[in-house]
Structure 1
Amino acid sequence: MTLPDPKALLRQLYQAAVDRALPARTLAAELPPAPPRGRTLVLGAGKAAGAMAQALEAALQSQWPADAPVSGLVITAYGHTPPGYRPRRLELVEAAHPVPDAAGQAAAQRMLALCQGLSADDLVICLISGGGSSLLSLPASGLSLADKQALNRALLHSGASIGEMNCVRKHLSAIKGGRLAAACAPAQVLTLLISDVPGDEPGVIASGPTVADASSCRDALAICARYRLSLPAAARAGLESGAFETVKPGEAFWAQQRLHMLATPQMSLEAAAEAARALGLAAHILSDEIEGEAREVGRVHAALARAVARRGQLFAKPCVLISGGETTVTVKPPPSGQALGQGGRATEFLLACAIALDGEAGVYGLSADTDGIDGVGDNAGAFLTPSSLARARALGLNPRAELDAHNARGFFAPLGDLLITGPSFTNVNDFRALLIL
C-alpha cells in the first residue's frame, strides 16, 4: 500500500469532511416541489447561511416558476459570502462572529419585521447553521447590545459547553429559543439545518430560533452561577421572574413547522472515513460528540494513538482515528509577565496532543474547524508530525509555556504547520484525525 504524504493525506480527509457538508450537495432535494399558494419568505443565519442561500436560489431557479414570489433576508459572518454569489431575490447581510455587533442586531430586527402579516398560505424557509447565535443577536427587553457582547465574551472564556452557552443566549434573546417561529405563525415553516453541535440537537444549533425549547430561565440562571458569570440587572430580573422564558412545546403553530438536517458532523466523519478507505487505509470513527476541555481531549487522543502505535491495541496500524464534536477552552490568565496568545480550540487540542505524544514515531495529526476558522485567527487548524516538538524547541519555543498561554497558533505558525483554507462556507464543527503508520 502506497499512501500520499501524511500531511497531504490528512488534508484530503479534512476536505472530504467539508465537502460532504456543503449545502449545494443536499439542499435542493429538501425543497417543496412547488411554491405555496401565497408568498415564500426566506430567513437565515449562520456561517453557512450564505452558501445555503446560494444553493436555495439555484434550486428555486430550476425547480419553481420564475414568477413565484420569493424574498427574504439572510445573515452570515464577515467574509463568509461565497465568492461570486450575487443574490437575486434575497438580501444577504454580513455581521460579526463570535461576538455580536450592531449589523447583526439591525438585521435581526428587520428579520422579525419581515414576519409581520404572514398568512397560512405563505411559506417561510429558514436556513440555520452554526454561528447563528451571535449573528442573529437581538437582546431581550431591557438589555443592550453591549450587555450581550460582554456576556458572549464571558461565555466563550468560561469553559461552558455549547449547549450551556446557547441555553443562556436563547433566554436573553428576543428572536432565538423558538421566538422566530412564533413570529412566523400562522405560516408554514420549513427549517433546513446544518448541525455544528454534539448530538445534533436542533434547539442548540444557533440557539434554536425556530425550535421549541424545553429549558427554563431557572436553567439559564444555574449555568450563569456555575461559571460565575456576571449578569446585568435587567437580565437577572428577567430570568428570575420568568419574563424571559422561551417558546415551549405544545403551541398550536408547531404543527405547521418541520425540520430537516442537511448535514451533520457524523455525515462528514463518515465521508472522511470513506476517503481513507478508498486509499486502502483502515479508518475508525471514535465519536462525533466529543466534548470537554480541548487540552484534556488532546491528551486522551494521544493515549489512544500510543496504544495503537506501540501495542496494536484497539486497532492495528496503519490506520487513522477520526473524531468530531466541540471542545471548549477555559481561558485563564497566563503566567506572570507572559501575554495571552492566539489559538482556537482545534489548535489547543493539537498542541496538548503533541506534548502528550512527545514525538511518538509514526503518529501524525490534523485538528481543524470545518468552517475554516479556528477561533478568531485566519487558520482552520494545524498539523502535527513526530518532529513537531523538536522543531519547535530548535526555534526556542517552550511547548508547555505556549499551551499555558493559550498560544497554540503561535506555536504551530513558525513550524509552517498551520492549515489555512479560508472560510469553507459550511460548519459541522471540529474535525480531528490521527494517522498512525
Structure 2
Amino acid sequence: MSFDPQTLLRDLFNTAIDAAHPRHVLADHLPADRSGRVIVIGAGKAAAAMAEVIEREWQGEVSGLVVTRYGHGADCRKIEVVEAAHPVPDDAGERVAKRVLALVSNLSESDRVIFLLSGGGSSLLALPAEGITLQNKQAINKALLKSGATIAEMNCVRKHLSAIKGGRLAKASWPATVYTYAISDVPGDEATVIASGPTVADPSTSVEALAILARYNIEITVNVRKWLQDPRSETVKPGDPCLARSHFQLIATPQQSLEAAAAKVQAAGLPVLILGDLEGEARDVAKVHAGIARQVVLHGQPIKAPCVILSGGETTVTVRGNGRGGRNAEFLLSLTESLKGLDGVYAIAGDTDGIDGSEDNAGAIMTPFSYARAGLQNLSARDELDNNNGYGYFAALDELIVTGPTCTNVNDFRALLILGNEAQ
C-alpha cells in the first residue's frame, strides 16, 4: 500500500471543499459587463467569501451588505459583512434582513443587484412575516431540527413564515435586474430549496407547510396557524411577472465536489464509485453504506477492493438522546456499530462548511480499529448512538476532524476506503 489511508481520506475531504470554494467558482459566472454600479447582497456560510470575489472582479462601483454565520466573515472593504446565528436565527439575523430588504426596495429598471446565496441563508436572513415573531421562528426551527424533517420540508415551513424568502426578495427588487449566484447545499440542487429560495418562484403552499408541522407533531401558536391559513402567507409562484428580471445561476454543487474527489482517487490508482446525493436518517444511510462495504469485502461487488465509495447529500437526525454530535458523527457512529471493526474499511464523513451541526468539528474519521479502541474505554457504539453522542465517541478516540469555517457549503461529504485483502 503506497498511501496512508487516513491521509488519503482527509485529502479527499479537502479536495471536495476546495472544489466548491468561491475563489475558484464564482468569477467565471459573473456578467461579461462588470462596469457600472452594482448593489451586492448575500446570505449564507459562503456569503463573505463570495463578496471578496465580487470586490476583486467588479470594475465599477460596488456597495452592499451580506450576512454570514458567526466566525465565517471576511475582510471586505466595500461590502459590509454582518455575522449572525445558525442554525437557529437570532436578532442579528433579523436586523440585517430588514436592512437587506431596504437596500433593494425602490430600485429602478437600470439598477443591478447581485445576490450571493449559499447554505445557511434560511437562518441567517431571518425576517418573520406579518404577525410572526422571531421567537415563533426560533421555536419552530429548533423543533424542526430535532424532528428528522428533510431540508426541503424545513425550508417549506420557513418560506411561508418569512417576509423575504420564497421569491419575496426578488419581488421587492423589481424592476431592477437581479443576478443570483448560488452554492448548492441541498440534494437535487433545487433553487427553491437552497436557503429557501429568496429570488426564485416557489411552487409549495402554506397548506403543505401546515401539513409538515402536523406530520412531525410540532406545536404552533395561534398566530402562526392564523398566518399560515391567510392567503397572504403564500409565496411568489411560477409565472409571476416580478420574476421576469431575476436570473439564477448555480456556481458550485455537491456533484462537482464528488467528481473532484473521484478524480483524486483515480489519480491514486484506485477505482471509485459515486453513490450521489443521499437523504434519510443518518444512522440508516450508514447501514446501507455498511452493507455495500461488506459486499465489496466478501464478494467484490459492486466494485472490487481496493476502492473508494463516495456520497454526499444531507442526512437527518431525529434527536432522542442528550449527547453531542451532528449528522456526520451520527453517520460514522452507526457505521462503526454496523461494521464492528470489519478489516480494511476506513471512512470519513464531514460537513463541507466545517461545522457538523452546531459543534466545533467538521466531522470525524473511522478506522477498522475504532470499534475495538472504544471498547477498551468501555464505550459502546450502540449506547452512544442511542444517546446521539457521536461527537463524544469520536472525541474520546481523538478521531474528530476540526477544520474551522471553510467559507463554502456543498453539504455532507462521505468516503469509504475499502482495502480488502490489501489490509492484511
1:7-53 per-position Cα deviation (integer Å, ceiling 9, x unaligned):
1000000111000000111211111222466x311110001111111
Runs of 5+ unmatched residues, structure 2 = 420-424
The one-letter code matched in structure 1 to 2:285 is V
1:132-183 per-position Cα deviation (integer Å, ceiling 9, x unaligned):
0000000111111111111100000010000000000000000011000100
Residue 48 of structure 2 aligns to a residue whose secondary structure is helix
**Which residue is 2:113 aligned to?**
124
1:376-404 per-position Cα deviation (integer Å, ceiling 9, x unaligned):
11110001111111100101111111000
- Output the CA distance in 2 between the equivalents of 1:36 and 1:111: 22
Assess if the C-alpha contact under 8 Å between 1:3 and 1:9 holds in 2: no
- Output the CA distance in 2 between the equivalents of 1:126 and 1:209: 9
Q: TM-score, normalised by structure 1?
A: 0.94
**Which residue is 1:28 aligned to?**
27
1:105-142 per-position Cα deviation (integer Å, ceiling 9, x unaligned):
00000111111221110101000000000000001111
Assess if the C-alpha contact under 8 Å between 1:36 and 1:121 holds in 2: no
Question: RMSD over aligned Cα, in angstroms?
Answer: 1.0
**Which residue is 1:97 aligned to?**
86
Which one of the candidate residues 62, 71, 74 is aligned to 1:79?
A: 71
Q: Which runs of 4+ in 1 moved over 2 A?
A: 33-37
**Which residue is 2:210 aligned to?**
221
**Which residue is 1:282 aligned to?**
271
- Output the CA distance in 2 between the equivalents of 1:15 and 1:283: 17
1:28-85 per-position Cα deviation (integer Å, ceiling 9, x unaligned):
1111222466x3111100011111111111111xxx2xxx33211100000011xxx4
Matches within 5 A, 1:193-212: 193-212=182-201
Q: Is structure 2 residue 304 aligned with structure 1 residue 316?
A: yes
- Output the CA distance in 1 between the equivalents of 2:262 and 2:16: 9
Count of matched residue positions in the alignment of Structure 1 and Structure 2: 419
**Which residue is 1:109 aligned to?**
98
**Which residue is 1:150 aligned to?**
139
Assess if the C-alpha contact under 8 Å between 2:35 and 2:61 holds in 1: no
1:287-344 per-position Cα deviation (integer Å, ceiling 9, x unaligned):
1x21000000011100000100111110000000000010000112x3xxxxx11000
Residue 366 of structure 1 aligns to a residue whose secondary structure is strand
Residue 247 of structure 1 aligns to a residue whose secondary structure is coil
- Output the CA distance in 2 between the equivalents of 1:251 and 1:36: 29
Runs of 5+ unmatched residues, structure 1 = 335-339
**Which residue is 2:373 aligned to?**
391
Q: Is structure 2 residue 421 aligned with structure 1 residue 420?
A: no
Matches within 5 A, 1:326-337: 326-332=314-320, 334=321
The one-letter code matched in structure 2 to 1:80 is H
**Which residue is 1:173 aligned to?**
162
- Output the CA distance in 2 between the equivalents of 1:55 and 1:342: 35
Which one of the candidate residues 245, 249, 269 is aligned to 1:260?
A: 249
- Output the CA distance in 1 between the equivalents of 2:224 and 2:251: 34
Residue 292 of structure 1 aligns to a residue whose secondary structure is coil
The one-letter code matched in structure 2 to 1:108 is A
Assess if the C-alpha contact under 8 Å between 1:360 and 1:386 holds in 2: yes
- Output the CA distance in 2 between the equivalents of 1:179 and 1:97: 21
- Output the CA distance in 2 between the equivalents of 1:3 and 1:353: 26
Residue 189 of structure 1 aligns to a residue whose secondary structure is strand
**Which residue is 1:337 aligned to?**
none
- Output the CA distance in 2 between the equivalents of 1:3 and 1:215: 51
- Output the CA distance in 2 between the equivalents of 1:385 and 1:221: 43
- Output the CA distance in 2 between the equivalents of 1:394 and 1:168: 45
**Which residue is 2:13 aligned to?**
14
Residue 243 of structure 1 aligns to a residue whose secondary structure is helix
Residue 76 of structure 1 aligns to a residue whose secondary structure is strand
**Which residue is 1:54 aligned to?**
52
The one-letter code matched in structure 2 to 1:205 is I
- Output the CA distance in 2 between the equivalents of 1:220 and 1:54: 36
